[in-house]
């Protein structure tokens, strides 16, 4: 069994440097105060309407994400190393997407088989030849990272389409500052609350060439029934821009307009939170009732910017993930600073044979899956669950990848029986426009069940405030 790295304690049981102040605080934290703070945090989240939808769950379709009151802490030097790897990856991903929709040099060089791209539903042929403002395709990216040792981090997946969760990062920090202001008094924690201002600055920086003066920005949402609607409304409000549904926008005389109580207002930048297929019924799915007819033609003509660009999903598809180390080397000429998790492509006969023989040891994921659904966690699955999964994998092997079970690091977490280690991952949020901006910290998701490695909120996980200590 691999050794599990405890981010708070070293092997000798001594407190690691970044957690010194937190450990002192925990020694003075009374049970009744911790329970009161947990209840107050839940009440704050409920008042704010911070919920997520659980599709197919008739009993409780709207749930609160549990908030843990003990922060996760990174030293400044740790964060600098992580940031360098994240920035390298983001720059390479944008170069990769640009290349796929233009010269396709990485395919010509044989670094990625052509069928892996052209047979992939995330590749959007309509984007071929389209050059967005500043050449940026993925403006808002969430990189999911896990830690297994003091200086060993792995990228679990890249989220280049419409990454969510930033509102939880911001609310976690605000709640923590409200509940325990004394914790912030004696150390410098890098701020995250300027994220909405930096997001707006990024969106303004990628306004189309046709824009004259200050760009008008909108957030495009599918509506109140979407699982991340709270976040859509939250970010629009924080940025001071309009939250729109497809019916609020229309194309006229070669430009995009927003309906207002007075005259229509021209729109320059759309931060869209709807999938590619639903953006424009004239170009993509004709049955889409949440898109804007004619939007894509305007985009191709450089009259409006769509953030993130259509077709960015090809870079975060799980079948492409295995090639990202090659992608980084191809476009940067450097070795990846952050490792990928070793991965078997079940579409390959040899890999499929290995995976079928070792199902009880591996995590098997759907290529297009998310939220922890449709996956098999072999080491915690019953024999019955494994045998039920086997025929699904055999019937459609190209729909799956498999990975070893990593010994995810643990951080101190407040549980019903007191403070205990629980497994975590991290989603830092990256903005890419006139420059790359990485929010210090990000969203830490925590598996609240003892021994569980599944951190997704849809599977019972919670969140924590994530601190980066400044020098």
pLDDT per position as a tens digit, 301-323:
999 999 999 999 999 888 899 99
Two tokens at 145?
């990272």
Domain assignment of residue 261, yes or no? no
Range of the domain at 354: 342-404
For the chain, helix, strand, coil in percent to 5 are 35, 25, 40
Same domain? 141 vs 50: yes
Q: What is the pLDDT of residue 186?
A: 80
Same domain? 88 vs 117: yes
pLDDT, mean over the chain = 93
Contact 422, 413 (CB under 8 A): yes
Same domain? 458 vs 349: no
- The rounded percent of the chain whose pLDDT value lies above 90 is 83
Same domain? 386 vs 415: no
Q: Residue 53: pLDDT band by 50, 70, 90 thresholds? A: low
Q: Residue 52: pLDDT band by 50, 70, 90 thresholds? A: low
Is the pLDDT assigned to residue 370 strictly greater than 80?
Answer: no
Name the domain boundary from 404, 426, 456. 404
Domain assignment of residue 286, yes or no? no
**List of residues 6+ apart from 51 with CB closer than 8 A:** 45, 62, 63, 64, 65, 230
Same domain? 140 vs 194: yes
Cα 61 → chain centroid: 22
Same domain? 315 vs 393: no
Domain assignment of residue 382, yes or no? yes
Q: What is the pLDDT of residue 59?
A: 47
- The full DSSP string for 152-195 is EEEEEEEE-S----HHHHHHHHHHHHHH-HHHHHTS-BPP-TTH
Helix 324-332, helix 76-100: angle, nearest 10: 90
> Which domain CATH number covers 387?
3.30.1490.270
Task: State pLDDT tens for residues 87-108.
Answer: 999 999 999 999 999 999 999 9
Same domain? 418 vs 399: no
Same domain? 84 vs 103: yes
Task: State pLDDT tens for residues 23-37.
Answer: 999 999 999 999 999
Two tokens at 59?
């009993």
Domain assignment of residue 329, yes or no? yes
Domain assignment of residue 235, yes or no? no
What mean pLDDT comes out for the span 57-80? 83
**pTM of the shown model:** 0.92
Q: What is the pLDDT of residue 372?
A: 61
Same domain? 378 vs 410: no
Task: State pLDDT tens for residues 372-408.
Answer: 667 898 988 999 999 999 999 999 999 899 999 888 9
User: For the purposes of burial, counting CB atoms within 10 Å of the CB of 391, is it exposed (0-12), middle (13-18) or buried (19 or more)?
Assistant: exposed
Q: What is the pLDDT of residue 371?
A: 57
**What H or E segment, with its residue span, contains residue 149?**
strand 140-149
Task: State pLDDT tens for residues 327-367.
Answer: 999 999 999 999 999 999 999 999 999 999 999 999 999 88
Name the domain boundary from 404, 420, 440. 404
Domain assignment of residue 71, yes or no? yes
Q: What is the pLDDT of residue 54?
A: 53
Domain assignment of residue 244, yes or no? no
| 217 vs 163, higher pLDDT | 217
Domain count, the chain: 2
Same domain? 379 vs 417: no
Same domain? 313 vs 417: yes
Q: Residue 113: pLDDT band by 50, 70, 90 thresholds? A: very high
Same domain? 346 vs 204: no
Q: Residue 458: pLDDT band by 50, 70, 90 thresholds? A: low
Domain assignment of residue 265, yes or no? no
State whether residue 52 is helix, strand or coil: strand
Two tokens at 418?
């007191």
Name the domain boundary from 367, 383, 404. 404
Cα three-residue angle 256-215-299, rounded to 5 degrees: 40
For 173, left (φ over 0), alpha (ψ -120 to 50), or beta?
A: alpha
Is the pLDDT assigned to residue 369 strictly greater than 80?
Answer: no
Euclidean distance between the first and the last CA atom of the chain, given in angstroms as a whole number = 36
């Amino acid at each position: 069994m691999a050794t599990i790295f405890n981010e708070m304690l070293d092997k000798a049981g001594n407190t690691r440097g970044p957690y010194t102040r937190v450990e002192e605080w925990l020694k003075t934290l009374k049970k009744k105060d911790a329970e009161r703070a947990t209840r107050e945090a839940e009440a704050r989240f409920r008042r704010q309407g911070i919920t997520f939808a659980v599709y197919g769950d008739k009993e409780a379709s709207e749930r609160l994400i549990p908030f843990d009151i003990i922060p996760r802490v990174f030293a400044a030097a740790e964060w600098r190393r992580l940031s360098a790897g994240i920035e390298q990856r983001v720059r390479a991903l944008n170069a990769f997407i640009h290349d796929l929709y233009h010269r396709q040099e990485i395919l010509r060089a044989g670094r990625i088989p052509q069928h892996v791209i052209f047979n992939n539903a995330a590749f959007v042929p309509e984007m071929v030849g389209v050059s967005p403002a500043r050449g940026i395709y993925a403006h808002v990216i969430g990189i999911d990272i896990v830690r297994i040792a003091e200086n060993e981090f792995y990228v679990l997946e890249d989220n280049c389409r419409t990454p969510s969760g930033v509102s939880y990062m911001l609310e976690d920090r605000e709640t923590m500052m409200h509940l325990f202001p004394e914790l912030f008094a004696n150390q410098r924690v890098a701020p995250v609350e300027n994220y909405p201002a930096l997001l707006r600055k990024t969106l303004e920086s990628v306004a189309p060439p046709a824009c004259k003066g200050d760009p008008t920005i909108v957030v495009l949402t599918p509506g109140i029934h979407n699982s991340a609607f709270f976040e859509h409304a939250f970010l629009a409000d924080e940025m001071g821009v309009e939250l729109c549904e497809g019916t609020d926008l229309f194309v006229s005389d070669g430009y995009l307009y927003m309906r207002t109580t007075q005259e229509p207002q021209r729109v320059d930048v759309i931060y869209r939170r709807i999938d590619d297929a639903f953006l424009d019924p004239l170009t993509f799915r004709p049955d889409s009732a949440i898109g804007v007819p004619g939007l894509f033609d305007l985009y191709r003509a450089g009259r409006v910017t769509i953030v993130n660009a259509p077709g960015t999903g090809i870079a975060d598809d799980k079948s492409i993930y295995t090639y990202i180390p090659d992608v980084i080397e191809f476009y940067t000429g450097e070795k990846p600073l952050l490792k990928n998790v070793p991965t078997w492509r079940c579409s390959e006969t040899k890999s499929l044979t290995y995976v079928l023989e070792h199902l009880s040891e591996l995590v098997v994921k759907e290529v297009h899956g998310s939220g922890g659904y449709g996956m098999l966690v072999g080491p915690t699955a019953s024999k019955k669950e494994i045998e039920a999964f086997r025929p699904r994998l055999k019937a459609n092997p190209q729909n799956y990848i498999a990975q070893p079970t990593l010994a995810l690091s643990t951080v101190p977490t407040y549980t019903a029986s007191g403070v205990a280690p629980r497994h975590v991952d991290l989603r830092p949020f990256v903005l890419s426009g006139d420059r790359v901006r990485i929010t210090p910290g990000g969203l830490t998701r925590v598996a609240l069940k003892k021994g569980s490695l599944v951190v997704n909120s849809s599977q019972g996980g919670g969140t924590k405030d994530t601190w980066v200590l400044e020098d």
